[in-house]
Chains A and B, each alone.
Chain A
Amino acid sequence: MTYILKPQLHHPKLPTNGLGYTRRDYEGSVSTLCAGCGHDSISAAIIQACFELELPPHRVAKLSGIGCSSKTPDYFLGNSHGFNTVHGRMPSVLTGANLANRELIYLGVSGDGDSASIGLGQFAHAIRRGVNMLYIVENNGVYGLTKGQFSATSDKGSKSKRGVVNHDAGIDMVSLALQMGATFVARSFSGDKAQLVPLIKAGLAHKGAAFIDCISPCVQFNNHPGSTKSFDYVREHNEAVNRLDVITPRDPIHVDYKPGETVRVQQHDGSILSLHKLAELYNPNNRAQALGYLQARQARGQIVTGLLFVDPDAGDLHDSVGTVDTPLNQLGEAELVPGQAALAAINASLR
């Protein structure tokens, strides 16, 4: 495999965002995943979300573990620093990176093998610490790179391409994230860009641990009848609870044409989430109800998508630790090294 540079020829009339960047400025190198892979649609959604949010591309740090999904950060935000870490351990690396510089935007990209199997512990602990990040699991229920083994999110009773039936209970990442205290929890589908792009925008703007479980069918190993993560299965069983718009503070005018059918939630950074409710009685501010709703729908074989829970006033790990506002990686000798005078006092106390 070789590295494929994308041609840098820009169409002179490519539209720019408020920062003067074109969509191209948010792209990365050419994907080497299978044609039609759901993961590439998610990369495209990330590119669009960052373009629309007008994020300076280099202020995003993108981290991943190992797997098909974890290769994707190479395929978007080519000017950002990226880190392909080790299998299942992206959450801890992202946590450390976040501690070092609180001013960057952290995007963790992982897969179901990476986050639900080998990395389940790190996933849970990063979420419960409230690391300020958007954590996306590109969930295809299968190990693609090693050619088709079940992952821990494969549903009980689902069939592999070779016809093997999975007898283990599947892990529902969304329920887990809710239980671990994530302050923004959503599920979407790689084939539903209209739903996914606003969710990514909202997740990136959210302060605290934001999680999106994005079902992303594997065209090679998990898109056959008997799979519960195939395009057809997800389309047939999708139960969207809401549609989301994100209005950043830079867009002061928002006309909502359907009063009574929307919920507006202001996030910590000033952005406003405008939720178009599809399902009756769904309230995205109630963690307990979200869990109950998920389970009730799951029992009916439905995959609930949309913004399931958000705490707009959430804090993050830096709030808990009480770190200074200046990023820790910008502190110098004056702030860090107490000097000989302090040592003299310490020496005196040790005699």
Chain B
Amino acid sequence: MPQPVKSGAAPRVNDFVVKFANVNGSGSASANGLFARSILRMGVPVAARNIFPSNIQGLPTWYEVRITEAGHLGRRGGVDLMVAMNPQTWDRDLAEIESNGFLFYDSTRPIPPSRFRDDIAVIGVPLTAMCNEAYELPRERQLFKNIIYVGALAGLLGMDVSAIEALLAEDFAGRDKLIRANVEALHMGLDHVKQNLAPLPLQVRQADAVGDRIYVEGNQAAALGAVYGGATVCAWYPITPSTSLAEAFTAYCQDLRVDPDTGKARYAIIQGEDEIASIGMVVGAGWNGCRAFTATSGPGVSLMTEFIGLSYFAEIPAVIFDVQRGGPSTGMPTRTQQADLLAAAYASHGDTKHPLLLPADPGECFEMGALAFDLADRLQTTVFVMLDLDIGMNEWLTKPFAWDDSRKLDRGKVMTAEELEAGADFGRYKEVDGDGIPFRTYPGTHPTKGGYFTRGTSRNPYARYSEEGAVYVDNMQRLLRKFETAKTLVPAPVLKPAKGKTKDGVIYFGSTSVAMDEALEILEAQGRRLDALRVRGFPFAHAVDEFIASHDRLFVVEQNRDGQLRTLLMTEIGVDPSKLVPVLHYDGTPITARFIAGEIGQLLSLGQIEAAE
């Protein structure tokens, strides 16, 4: 039986989860986004996750908004208020609601009592009937229904309607008719609630917890990072979930990279015929002294691997943004995973390995997006920036972008015409400084000096053809020294010590971090102490070795099936596998704090029982 909302209970303020269940293609995304952004405008942090199908129209889609004054930006797990707008998923959506939680639904058509739950309260609003009465056109009925439920929710949750109106005015600036129509729909929902329903015991109240943070997608942030990192050539091929990165780069370049005198572009963006051509162009541009990148996802990385190997052996800078998603082909392309770690770290044939940067939020996507180009030039190799769909395609609350105007682009070891003229000994693959990094020249530098023929392998330190085994081995050893140098250049890990001494630790990276922060709080409250290390780069800095050495047991938390970070730690640092306990979440949804705390809590309890026995 549907239960009405009980009045008089003490409301939960600024700490609950609302989930919207919609049909994709129904225009719900912008209304749901409006809901989340208006809460931000009230000074209350939100963490929003879009869970969408890989088709255009008709399949279920969800949008989860966590309202969190405490600033927990990961998913918590569970839903307090379900906005059930999709009959197809009604049963599973209802099942997800917390006990004593709330269901908001369209009550136009009666739903049999058996389809509800006894332990939740329901709020029915006859949305379809209201729309049918107010609007003639089917499309209007559809679109305004979304705004009407936002208005109804604003009434139920005690939201500041002026914040929503202000956003509508900004979003539709200059289109007054549209603003008026949306505001009318908003009030239609609001008025219905005021006249017919009581406020819910879930309330949003004005706060001051957002600060100067910005709300942005990781792909957009990474693209801006590429602009600030001095990237001039972008070659890419559309693939979810990385497409919006290349598109954001295009938009930012159109704003920021046009010569004001001539109107000409200080960039070149090419949509390749495939991922192979895209990385080929990147390698060609890198060889010729440009900062170049491609944005792709796992299947693209697979196609690019031959070129990635060439970049490794021929020592050509390249940057790849890999926005990770679930497995190959169709199926999980719009779901998130951290499952390309091994594919990227060891991409290609022969003995190859590549630096990876592991941003944990859009703020780091910007910073590492820029840094990647310095590292690629410095190390003369492919550098990966490993985003995932969760960071890349969801808007996250993150620290504002900042840039030190005195910062210079590090172009690495490039020999100039003057140095060549002055008689510098140029050997393209010659060790000079003990860091494994040789000098290079850009094509066309000097009429008679510094030219060389670029090959994959089979050449001596002066780039002359050689198939001598000893020469090959010597070169491979130098490349290993270069990889050692990379350890000191990739971003250092971030240590979060427990409140007291412990021999247990957790290691994690990327989008897991926000949920991990909260999980650590939950575990701490249970008296479970863990030192935490967030890995931000590969090859691992020595601080990672030290952290592992100073703990007895380490939980490695990641979003893939095979424990890919754990494998890298075992392979690269030589850690005893029994010391690294995998905690894995890979159903395609972003990992939750409850999952991490639950798994680790259980494993710790189990450990105690075993120890007692």
Task: Give me the interface of A with B, judged by CB distance under 8 Å.
Answer: 1-3, 5, 29, 56-59, 61, 63, 73-74, 78-86, 89, 91-101, 103-104, 121-122, 125, 129, 318, 321-325, 328-329, 331-333, 335-340, 342-343, 346-347, 350-351
Are A58 and B215 in contact, with the CB atoms below 8 A?
Answer: no
Q: Is the CB of B307 within 8 A of A339?
A: no
- Docked-complex contact A350 and B266, CB < 8 angstroms: no
> In whole angstroms, how far apart are the Cα atoms of A70 and B532 in the complex?
52
User: Nearest chain B CB to A331's CB is how many angstroms away?
Assistant: 6
Flag whether B382 is at the interface (Cβ < 8 A). no
For B268, give its contact among A78, A125, A328 (CB under 8 Å): A328
Shortest Cβ distance from residue B71 to the other chain A in the assembled complex, whole angstroms: 16
Smallest CB separation, B389 vs chain A (Å):
20
Assess the B268–A103 pair: CB atoms within 8 A: no
A76 to B596, CA, bound (A): 62
Q: A337-B230, A338-B228 are in contact. Are A350 and B215 (CB under 8 A)?
A: yes
C-alpha spacing A296/B216, complex, angstroms: 61
- A338→B452 CA distance, assembly (Å): 35
Binds A, one of B19-27, B118-126, B402-410: B402-410
**Additional pairs, 4, CB under 8 Å, beyond known A79-B451, A81-B452:** A2-B467, A3-B466, A91-B277, A346-B401
Closest Cβ of chain A to B218, distance in Å, is 13
With A3-B466, A58-B447, A104-B444 as contacts: A96 and B310 at CB distance below 8 Å? no
Q: How far is the CA of A32 from the CA of B274 in the complex (A)?
A: 34
- Taking a contact as CB atoms closer than 8 A, the residue among A1, A85, A333 that contacts B280 in the complex is A85
A92 to B306, CA, bound (A): 13
* Contacting residues, chain B, for A93 (C-beta < 8 A): 280-281, 283-284, 287
Centre residue among A3, A59, A63, A94 by max chain B CB count within 10 A: A3
CB of B446 closer than 8 Å to a CB of A: yes
B402/A103 in contact, CB under 8 A: no
When distances are taken between beta carbons in the complex, the residues of chain B under 8 Å from A59 are 444
How far, in whole Å, are A58 and B443 apart by their CA atoms in the complex?
7
Chain A contacts for B444, CB-based, 8 A = 58-59, 61, 81, 101, 103-104
Partner of B269 from the list A58, A100, A321 (CB cut-off 8 Å) is A321
Quick check: B403 and A343 within 8 Å, CB to CB? yes
Separation in Å of the A204 CB from the closest CB of chain B?
Answer: 15
Contact partner, A323, options B268, B277, B442, B456, Cβ 8 Å: B268
Contacts of A29 in B (CB 8 A): 465
Q: Which of A78, A328, A335 is within 8 Å of B290, CB to CB?
A: A328
Assess the B287–A83 pair: CB atoms within 8 A: yes
Number of residues from B at the complex interface, CB < 8 A: 76
The answer to whether B290 touches A85, judged by C-beta atoms less than 8 angstroms apart, is: no
The 8 Å CB contact of B443, one of A80, A125, A321, A322, is: A80
Give B442's nearest chain A residue, CB to CB.
Answer: A329
Cβ of B237 to closest chain A Cβ, rounded Å: 11
What B residues does A335 contact at CB under 8 A?
259, 266
B265 close to A (CB within 8 Å)? yes
Chain B residue with Cβ nearest A95: B281
A-B interface, 7 closest residue pairs, ranked by CB to CB distance from nearest? A96-B284, A92-B280, A96-B281, A81-B443, A329-B289, A100-B288, A100-B290
In Å, the complex CA distance between A336 and B229 comes to 8
Nearest Cβ distance between residue B540 and chain A, in whole angstroms?
Answer: 30
Which residues of A lie under 8 Å from residue B452 when comparing CB positions? Answer: 81-82
Q: Is B333 in contact with chain A by the CB < 8 A criterion?
A: no
B281 touches A92 (CB 8 A): yes
Q: Is A99 within 8 A of B214, CB to CB?
A: no
Chain A residues within 8 Å of B270, by CB: 95, 99, 129, 321
**Known A-B contacts A323-B265, A336-B230; A99 and B401 likewise in contact (beta carbons under 8 Å):** no
Q: Which residue of A lies closest to B211 (CB)?
A: A351
B403/A340 in contact, CB under 8 A: yes
How far is it, in angstroms, between the C-alpha of A1 and the C-alpha of B471 when the chains are bound? 14
CA gap between A325 and B256 in the complex, in Å: 17
Q: Is the CB of A56 within 8 A of B284?
A: no
Chain B residues near A (Cβ < 8 Å): 40, 212-216, 224, 227-228, 230, 232-233, 235, 256-257, 259, 262-270, 272-274, 276-290, 292, 306-307, 310, 314, 400-405, 407-409, 441-448, 451-456, 460, 464-467
Q: B282's closest neighbor in chain A, by CB?
A: A96
In-complex Cβ contact of A351 among B214, B453, B456, B465 (8 A): B214
Q: In the assembly, what is the distance between CA of A275 and CA of B591, in Å?
A: 70
Please name all residues of chain B whose beta carbon is closer than 8 Å to the beta carbon of A322 when the two chains form the complex: 263-265
Please indicate the chain A residues that have their CB under 8 angstroms from the CB of B443 in the complex: 58, 61, 80-81, 97, 101, 104
Could you tell me if B405 and A92 are in contact, using CB atoms closer than 8 angstroms? Answer: no
Contact assessment for A336 and B409 in the assembled complex, using a CB-CB cutoff below 8 Å: yes
Do B409 and A96 touch (CB < 8 A)?
no
Chain A residues contacting B465 (CB-CB under 8 Å) are 1-3, 29, 74
B170's closest neighbor in chain A, by CB?
A349
Contacts of B233 in A (CB 8 A): 96, 99-100, 328
**A-chain residues with CB within 8 Å of residue B216 when the two chains form the complex:** 350
Residues from chain B with Cβ under 8 Å of A85 in the complex: 280, 283-284, 310
Complex partner residue of A1 from B212, B257, B467, CB under 8 angstroms: B467
A-B CB contact pairs (8 Å), 29 listed = A2-B465, A2-B466, A56-B447, A61-B288, A81-B452, A82-B453, A83-B314, A83-B454, A86-B306, A86-B307, A86-B456, A92-B277, A93-B287, A94-B284, A95-B270, A96-B282, A96-B284, A100-B232, A100-B233, A101-B442, A122-B280, A125-B272, A324-B265, A333-B408, A333-B409, A337-B228, A339-B403, A340-B402, A351-B214
Which listed residue, A73, A74, A347, touches B401 by the CB 8 Å rule?
A: A347
In the complex, the chain A residue whose C-beta lies closest to that of B233 is A99
* Nearest CB on B from A208, distance (A): 16
Across the interface, name the chain A residue whose C-beta is closest to B259.
A324
Q: Are B466 and A347 in contact (CB under 8 A)?
A: no
How many Å from the CB of B245 to the closest CB on chain A?
16
How far, in Å, is B231 (CB) from chain A's closest CB?
Answer: 8
Query: How far in angstroms is the closest Cβ of chain B from A310?
Result: 25
Chain A residues whose CB sits within 8 angstroms of the CB of B288 once the complex forms: 61, 96-97, 100-101, 104, 329
Closest chain B CB from A16 CB (angstroms): 14
- Among A1, A100, A324, A325, residue most surrounded by chain B Cβ atoms (within 10 Å): A100
Q: Which residues of chain B come closer than 8 Å to A100, judged between CB atoms?
A: 232-233, 284-290, 292
Query: Closest CB-CB distance, A291 to chain B, in whole Å?
Result: 23
Q: A85-B310, A104-B444, A323-B265 are in contact. Are A92 and B227 (CB under 8 A)?
A: no
Is there an interface contact between A99 and B273, defined as CB atoms closer than 8 Å?
A: no
B229 CB → nearest A CB, Å:
8
List the B residue with the shortest CB-CB distance to A102. Answer: B268
Residues on A with beta carbons closer than 8 Å to the beta carbon of B404: 340
CA distance A121 to B456 in the complex (A): 22
Question: Cβ of B266 and Cβ of A58 under 8 Å apart?
Answer: no
CA A350 to CA B398, docked complex, whole Å:
10
Which residues of B are found within 8 Å of A61, using beta-carbon distances? 288, 443-444
CB distance B215 to A57 under 8 Å? no
Question: In the complex, which residues of chain B have a beta carbon less than 8 angstroms from the beta carbon of A1?
Answer: 465, 467
Contacting pair A331 B266 (CB below 8 A) = yes
Q: Looking at the complex, which one of A83, A321, A340 makes contact with B265 (CB distance below 8 Å)?
A: A321
B287 touches A79 (CB 8 A): no
Chain A residues lying within 8 Å of B213, measured Cβ to Cβ, are 351
Report Cα–Cα, A125/B443, bound state, in Å. Answer: 24
Among candidates A84, A101, A328, residue contacting B267 with C-beta atoms closer than 8 Å: A328
A312–B496 Cα distance when bound, in Å, is: 66
Tell me which residues across on chain B come within 8 A of A92, comparing CB atoms. Answer: 235, 272, 276-281, 284
Rounded to whole angstroms, the CA-CA distance of A318 and B285 in the bound complex is 14
Contact of A96 with B283 in the complex, beta carbons under 8 Å: yes
A96 in contact with B292 (CB, 8 Å)? yes
A89 surroundings in chain B (CB, below 8 A): 276-277, 280, 306-307
In the complex, chain A residues whose CB is within 8 Å of the CB of B227: 336-338
The minimal Cβ–Cβ distance linking A226 to chain B, given in whole angstroms, is 35
Q: How far is the CB of A249 from chain B (nearest CB, A)?
A: 22
B445 contact set on A, CB distance < 8 A: 58
Contacts of A2 in B (CB 8 A): 465-467
Chain B residues with CB below 8 A from A342, complex form: 256
Contact among A5, A82, A104, A328 with B232 in the assembled complex (CB-CB below 8 Å): A328
